[in-house]
Amino acid sequence: MKYLNQPITINHLTLNNRLVMPPMATAKSTPEGKFSEALGEYYKDRAKGGYIGLIITEHSYISQQGKASNGQLSIACDSDIEGLAKLVKAAQTDGTKVMAQINHAGSAASADITGLEPAAPSSVKHPRSANADSAPPQELSEAEIAQIVQQFANAALRAKKAGFDGVEIHGSHGYLLNQFYSPLTNHRTDRYSAASVENRVRIHLEVIAAVRKAVGDDYPVALRFGGCDYTAGGSTIEDSKKACLLFEQAGIDLLDISGGMYGYMVSDCKEPGYFQDMSSAIKQAVSVPVILTGGIQTAQEAELLLERSAADLIGVGRAMLKNARWAEENLTF
């Protein structure tokens, strides 16, 4: 494996290879969103042997209003740090590096789960809403946006205190930051409006700045970015290139490229590396490392995508979800 086995340095963090286990929800935390032994064992099993360069843990909610689902992990309060530290210890087995992913679900949240009314960039129902009779979310005020920006920063600092090697801001798969970026869900008329890419990613840039201030310059900060909606009227690959240049200028160390408002799949795409058209374009536009995930089942497929310069690192998701020993079985060191 000429490319996959090469080390790479992100900010001050050196990974022993280019293989990433991307964030995948397990619903293994306690009902209160706390660490559980089952969650720890899940990550420990996959980190064993140090075959994975980087594990990015499942999305953790930064506030009760931003909780996406039952069984989701919390990073919303300081009392979470003790349990998160246990998760880090499990995931750092045999030198594997681990980042925390932090998230707010926006209109993808449900009052049945959070006990609170969902809030979003605009009072627009989520395109993937399963409940046709549900009310649209409340539009966030600028003061509420500022509060959410600070919640991201607080969560990032908790990740650092818990011992994570870095933090990833979740801005894809139809969650809150993605809702601001996509013209499908952003109907605002203020400085966060969909009138320009700069406006659509204004909240991203504010979150990046606040997170960087909280964790310092030497701590790796990544962004998972749903850069293209692959549907009429949605965000485009050209938009994603412009946005990622802004993220790089703002101080992002790593770009994790994935899907937009319609999730982590591309309709009718069966070729490994679903988003390689977008990741390749972004990689040519920026100088920071880029991760590509989506439908990759073998080390040979990952190697070919690296050889094509589709990305700098490759995420293998469902294959590792199903088989804890996938990395050991597929990589030859």
> Of these residues, 51, 175, 230, 274, which one is catalytic?
175
Cα 331 from Cα 3, distance rounded (Å): 12
Q: Is 175 a catalytic residue?
A: yes
Cα 169 from Cα 35, distance rounded (Å): 20
Residues annotated as part of the active site: 175
